[in-house]
Structure 1
């Protein structure tokens, strides 16, 4: 039985300082002062910027003596130009810290602005390749507070940002250890008005993070344990939060599951994200929705390598039918319950760029964590199956 939301208030210090509980957005000014931030730049997206929660947060900061301004020129899949514009706003306003407030796009953009606030090199010089991160001046990275309003990306506990290189139509992962926000506020009250289809897509994104981390090769029992419990929380709470957006208990548990997924995927991700990053760059589709649609097709392609792990997972989740087939049935049933389309064709993605998709997916950093090292041709095949909705069930 899940706890009542009143019992979920807690402070954690892993993987960063986390304040969990309904109504804790009130602690934002205190969080700023703890980090010696006097003039925060609040980074969010245009949709949220018009909502009372953002206006109240800015007012609350200003009433506490903080010089808080707003930056909201962000696309659904944030671009390098969005980051450049944000840095310009940061410098023009003489800011000394960032409040990243919103979904994954806002959180990633806010973290990237904080990274770039005092750097002399361009953004792409810090792409997560080799030791590129050592090029950054760590003393010039601004402190960040992260406040998620969706339970999906887990970017609030991540050390990277996914930013679209619009010139080359590719998503790049920008990384630095100090991009990890110093304080995170997980407040379920901020998520209760999320539309059901966004609740579904972001919740499935959290599931994909846990699932791909759990299946990634390599020895990391801590990540595996976090991923397992994250998936249990998704199983028990995502359908509830989808059915009743006002269920604060389910909303709170999903925020925690989201943070757990992003903590676990330090171990690695896989083919779902390799293809989803590619399709997000080429088509601008919602990242969580792409992972939700792609999930069974990538699972099927990986079956030979992950069957024993999925057997253990099915037992942990207490599924009615154990083993790989039972888990696949549960994934398909969950997608159906949440109104997730079965194929990419259902969201107007066709096969015309299949070769390019395969090449880009194979080159995506997430492909390195897939249990099987798929070729570009194999990624193209998986993509075509997902377009047509063909599963060998």
Structure 2
């Protein structure tokens, strides 16, 4: 099996510049200076602010003679108010760069903060619909360095942020090509403190990105190849990372797989995300866990339209059976091994407004990437099966 040479550090771009390797957080101050900045704003979430990854980040920045600030008012499902608060903190502190550190929530919020710091229009005007992104003023964007501490969303390599609209209680995908961070530091040592259940949920999020990208009917052969390799890495390394959180090989491989999943999802997403977005917005549930619970029900629904792709996937993963059923069996076995709840009710969502969720899912941008066209009846059927 081909794997990355994790015993050494390496740099690559695709097109984001990535510095990968253990201990590379130590290069952060030099990286900030290379982008012409001196007063970075570190953006993270409240749960991470006092822990090693953020404290080490602040230590490196201060030791490098820089003047960092810290903003940590970011919810697990970041909101418009979180972004507005971050913009206010950036402006008030005279900050000239954003260091985004954390999981997908912190990274999404940080990218949106950097984008909105120079805008005069509402963030919602840049929702990922049509050419809304052209409304943005890109003449003086704040640069971003992204440092993931989870292997899930891959947001460090993405061109969008998922932000909950406070008044409308829906998740909005804010998109602009220039939202992609200027530099990514992937340091496996910063992910070792992640608890097993969060490692599992975020890893399944990465799996959902790669699976839905592979399944999407659009033509993007490069993204499809990346999705297959991400799935191969996840099959091998996610169980290891959950079982032994200090295994740096597994942590590093999952960081790579997560980033690859994000790169692949430009090919499209589908019903998993279309349903997870309203469920997360309405009930403030963990996005990766929602994806993990919904995944087999969506796969079973889509299987007739993607049987050839699932056969290819089953061969790539060297499963016992080269067919759609073989992929579904693997997925169910993996969920069981990782202690993922089998249903939405088992994860605590027992009182769901089905009609509202389905109505929101039907108009979610991800719904259009499903290999079988979605309507309210089909979405309701998937949701009820997952209940």
Q: What TM-score do the two structures reach when normalised by structure 1?
A: 0.97
Look up the SS of the partner of 1:164 in the other structure.
strand
Displacement of 1:59 in angstroms is 2.1
Residue in 1 aligned with 2:30?
Answer: 30
Instruction: Return closer, same or farther for 1:113/1:4 CA change in 2, 3 Å cut-off.
Output: closer
Look up the SS of the partner of 1:141 in the other structure.
coil
Residue in 2 aligned with 1:237?
Answer: 237
Look up the SS of the partner of 2:147 in the other structure.
strand
Residue in 1 aligned with 2:270?
Answer: 270
For residues 2-55 of structure 1, the C-alpha deviation after alignment (integer angstroms, 9 at most, x for no partner) is 758643521001131001111111111111111111111000001110113212
Residue in 2 aligned with 1:307?
Answer: 307
Residue in 2 aligned with 1:391?
Answer: none
Residue in 2 aligned with 1:7?
Answer: 7
Alpha-carbon distance in structure 2 between the residues aligned to 1:78 and 1:122: 16
Count of matched residue pairs = 387
Residue 339 in structure 1 maps to residue 339 in structure 2: yes
Residue 99 in structure 1 maps to residue 105 in structure 2: no
Q: Report if the CA contact (8 A) 2:42-2:99 is conserved.
A: yes
Q: Report if the CA contact (8 A) 1:357-1:379 is conserved.
A: no
For residues 151-171 of structure 1, the C-alpha deviation after alignment (integer angstroms, 9 at most, x for no partner) is 000000000000000211100
Please give the residue correspondences for 1:247-326 in structure 2 after superposition, counting only pairs within 5 Å: 247-326=247-326
Q: Give the stretch that moved more between structures: 5-14 or 246-255.
A: 5-14
Residue 356 in structure 1 maps to residue 356 in structure 2: yes
Residue in 2 aligned with 1:209?
Answer: 209
Instruction: Return closer, same or farther for 1:385/1:17 CA change in 2, 3 Å cut-off.
Output: same
Alpha-carbon distance in structure 1 between the residues aligned to 2:298 and 2:62: 48
Residue in 1 aligned with 2:327?
Answer: 327
Residue in 2 aligned with 1:85?
Answer: 85
For residues 30-89 of structure 1, the C-alpha deviation after alignment (integer angstroms, 9 at most, x for no partner) is 111111111110000011101132122112112212111000001010000000000000
Displacement of 1:275 in angstroms is 0.4
Q: Report if the CA contact (8 A) 1:5-1:22 is conserved.
A: no
Q: Report if the CA contact (8 A) 1:61-1:67 is conserved.
A: yes
Q: Report if the CA contact (8 A) 1:5-1:21 is conserved.
A: no
Residue in 2 aligned with 1:148?
Answer: 148
Look up the SS of the partner of 1:49 in the other structure.
coil
Instruction: Return closer, same or farther for 1:25/1:233 CA change in 2, 3 Å cut-off.
Output: same
Look up the SS of the partner of 1:47 in the other structure.
coil
Alpha-carbon distance in structure 2 between the residues aligned to 1:245 and 1:73: 27
Instruction: Return closer, same or farther for 1:151/1:78 CA change in 2, 3 Å cut-off.
Output: same
Residue in 1 aligned with 2:380?
Answer: 380
Gaps of at least 5 residues in structure 1 are 388-393
Instruction: Return closer, same or farther for 1:8/1:202 CA change in 2, 3 Å cut-off.
Output: farther
Q: Report if the CA contact (8 A) 1:4-1:249 is conserved.
A: no
Q: Report if the CA contact (8 A) 1:115-1:140 is conserved.
A: no
- 4+ runs of 1 displaced by more than 3 Å? 1-6
Q: Report if the CA contact (8 A) 2:213-2:223 is conserved.
A: yes
Q: Give the stretch that moved more between structures: 134-143 or 147-156.
A: 134-143
Look up the SS of the partner of 2:162 in the other structure.
strand
Residue in 2 aligned with 1:39?
Answer: 39
